[in-house]
Amino acid sequence: MLPSLHDDCVVSYEVNCETRQIKLHTGPDPRDAAKREQRPRTIVFNGVEGYQFDDDAFGNIISSLAAVSIEQVFADYGSRIAESYRMAGAPGPWAADLAVAAKVLAAKGIKGFVLSSSYGLSGWVLAKEALVAP
């Protein structure tokens, strides 16, 4: 289960192409006195098949990180995924035909995750899992 990241700030994120892993580092908003005692957290996405983050404002405030169906990711971002595949072959060969991509990804155990923000960075990740790093 994903923790609530509501009103956390994005500290940084790392993408490791070789291991197909993304680490999203978050922390409390330093301007929020009630949250100053909270510890930073790292959400690790393993088995990444694709992702897109947009609108990095270098001071991003998270609204939520939610697990969603692959179909929901395609409903919300499918046209952008198709265009990215057409222009650059990204995020991968499965994107050549979104009509069958959900079945292909589901067979690999892939799940959808959507990052929403109150301010700044938002996007989606398709990965086998998302967990809080110890």
Give the per-residue pLDDT at 36: 64
Judge whether 62 lies within some domain: yes
Report if residue 78 sits inside a domain. yes
pLDDT of residue 35: 65
Q: Is residue 2 part of a domain?
A: no
**SS3 sequence, the chain?**
CCCCCCCCEEEEEEEECCCCEEEEEEECCCCCHHHCCCCCEEEEEECCCEEEEECCCCCCEEEEEEEECHHHHHHHHHHHHHHHHHHHCCCCHHHHCHHHHHHHHHHCCCEEEEEEEEECCEEEEEECEEEECC
Per-residue pLDDT, 33 = 67
Identify any residues that bridge with 32 across adjacent strands, giving them in sequence order: none
Provide the pLDDT for residue 1: 78
Residue 1 lies in a domain: no
What pLDDT, on a 0 to 100 scale, did the predictor assign at position 29?
Answer: 76
Residue 86 near residue 98 (C-beta atoms within 8 A)? no
**Domain contains 3:** no
For 58-97, how does the pLDDT look when each residue is reduced to its tens digit (9 = 90+)? 989 999 999 999 999 999 999 999 999 999 999 999 999 9
Residue 79 lies in a domain: yes
Question: How many domains does the chain fold into?
Answer: 1
- Rg (C-alpha) for the chain, rounded Å, is 15
Report the pLDDT value the prediction gives residue 103, as an integer from 0 to 100: 96
pLDDT of residue 124: 98
User: Mean pLDDT per 10-residue run, the chain (134 residues)?
Assistant: 90 97 91 73 98 95 97 97 96 95 97 97 98 88
CB 10 within 8 A of CB 54: no
Domain that holds residue 66: 9-132
